[in-house]
Amino acid sequence: MTFIETGTFHGAGIKAALMTGFDRVVSIECVREFHDECSGRFASEIGEKKVELRLGDSAEELPAMVPSMKGPRLYWLDAHFQGVDGEFEAANCPLTAEIEAVIASRHPDDVIMIDDMRLLRRPAAWRGHKVEIDAVLGRLMNAYTDHVALFLDAANQSEHTRRDIFTLFPAHLAGQFFAKFPGGRDEAAIKAKAERELAATA
């Protein structure tokens, strides 16, 4: 399965995906500073073709790359304004366009995970966004009718981030999903460990 992330930031998602054992990791980032940082951090994995970093607007990059991909994908959708403007005309949160790209090239065994649900329900977040999150989730669930939806706790597990990750996965893969993500969380303990390790080496 391929792990596809939107919003590379400092690379915790990439590291967590590698630790989890994904065959391939692709991450899209619109801020060159973050892209370049992770290009150096994961130079070895990039050389081994385990990791691919793409610099650009995920609303354009996803529909350009996903149709040619084979097999199921796990999408970790976490692209939004991070306090630094990118060089692309990217939306403060491109989730709506990302979901359309996912649906257009859907595989029956795809897993879709959307981070920061608490902020997606606040139109003023990230300098303002235009995501109608209930409509987005409705589109997803109508497209993936044989999937199960859950709201999971974020890695930091604070009171504010409980049930902060929307997750949609195939009903017939429930056992594998919970084995890959211990405790039924997104990347919970795995991503938290990755973030600690990255902080220690920064």
Beta bridge partners of 3: 25, 74
Which tens digit of pLDDT belongs to each residue from 142-196? 999 999 999 887 765 555 567 789 999 999 987 776 666 554 444 445 555 555 6
Of residues 185 and 43, more confidence is placed in: 43
**Residue 199 above 70 pLDDT?**
no
Q: What is the pLDDT of residue 31?
A: 92
Within its chain, how far is the Cα of 81 from the centroid? 14
Q: What is the pLDDT of residue 119?
A: 85
Which tens digit of pLDDT belongs to each residue from 126-138? 677 788 999 999 9
Q: Distance (Å, rounded) from C-alpha 39 to C-alpha 11?
A: 9
Of residues 131 and 33, more confidence is placed in: 33
Q: What is the pLDDT of residue 130?
A: 80
Q: Pick the range with the lowest mean pLDDT from 14-23, 43-52, 72-81, 158-167.
A: 158-167
Report the number of distinct structural domains present in the chain. Answer: 1
Asked whether the beta carbons of 20 and 180 are under 8 A apart, the reply is yes
Question: Domain of 129?
Answer: 2-201
CATH code at position 143: 3.40.50.150
- Whole-model pTM: value is 0.85
Mean of the per-residue pLDDT values for the chain? Answer: 85
Q: What is the pLDDT of residue 136?
A: 93
* CA-wise closest residue to 78 among 141, 167, 139, 180: 167
Q: What is the pLDDT of residue 37?
A: 97
